[in-house]
Amino acid sequence: MSQEKVNLLNLTFPQLRKYFDSLGEKPFRAQQVMKWIHQFGIDDFDEMTNLSKKFREILKEKAEVRGPEVISEEVASDGTCKWALRLDGGQAVEAVFIPEVSRGTLCISSQVGCILDCQFCSTGKQGFSRNLSLGEIIGQLWYATRSLGTMHTSGVKAVTNVVMMGMGEPLLNFNNVVGAMNLMMDDNAYGLSKRRVTLSTSGLVPALDELIKYTDVALAISLHAANDKLRDELVPVNKKYPIKILLDSVKRYIEQSTAVKKVTIEYVMLSGVNDTEKDAHDLAALMKNIPCKINLIPFNPFPGTDYVCSSGNRMHAFEKTLMDHGLIVTIRKTRGEDIDAACGQLVGKVKDRTRRLERRLRKQEQLVNVQTHLD
């Protein structure tokens, strides 16, 4: 029985060095291979020309570079691109690339579905299946970089920012997310700065307190309410970690960080729910001693929801109230709405695509079995 190959996308730089050591290779080989995989987007060992032929043969026998399989690619009218990616086991996640004049942002998933069930998020309504492996997380960046053109092939770094804001709660997949983010920032891989890698969390305080021990990437907090009663309803994890406990953790993170000077507060705008003048004043009072910028997010509807997005006038009035309190505020521009790639929409038709793919694969397997029987 043949031994399963090691997928090198699943390994951090220290793990790759350790693996090559087990093969009797020098540590510098890890740096060479890391660059081939992540900077050049190469998955064929024969193309890694600064490795000895003998070592390349060993790698072909024992290892592989296997990214996620692309089910579909959709491009919105504003240039936003969404990929549905098939994982091991037939499940799927979605990743979104948002191009802008001065940067390109990739929104990455960390789980299949989400267990937290935030009421305004379509992903939460999908339910939770499993965590992604390190390779499945970094594989989204690896695929996007190859698809858009690596720095070495196009002369431009297409993905300049990564946000862990896709499907799932990143802090519930702690080890794999931290490992993937550290790869994103590794100079031998993607070389992104700490300020250009952002983790968004609904507020798992123990994991957030632990995060600063391993990395201090940029931080975004999915707040969405200025009082515990409303946040208990919108973001159920608040019942376990109320707003004060969460914000105390945020302050500790900022104080200990070497790179992060302020946190992003994410606040989805829901008409008649959290968008009143009083809500704005209450939010301003909460943020008084928190170094932050507030990102007001237009709610993106999905089938089955009763929530409605606040009007443009209401959002601008909310923004003005916060700014009058001296806060930095932006209203997020909705991107990719026509392909269900906007914030809170990352589930779309991914389950339907997965079911179609699984049916197609079963038919292919049946045809193979029939042909084998005839032979």
List active site positions: 94, 343
- Counting beta carbons within 10 angstroms of the beta carbon of residue 341, is it exposed (0 to 12), middle (13 to 18) or buried (19 or more)? buried
68/215 Cα distance (integer angstroms): 26
List phi, psi (to 5°) of 41.
70, 30
353/344 Cα distance (integer angstroms): 19
112/168 Cα distance (integer angstroms): 7
171 close to 105: Cβ distance less than 8 angstroms = no
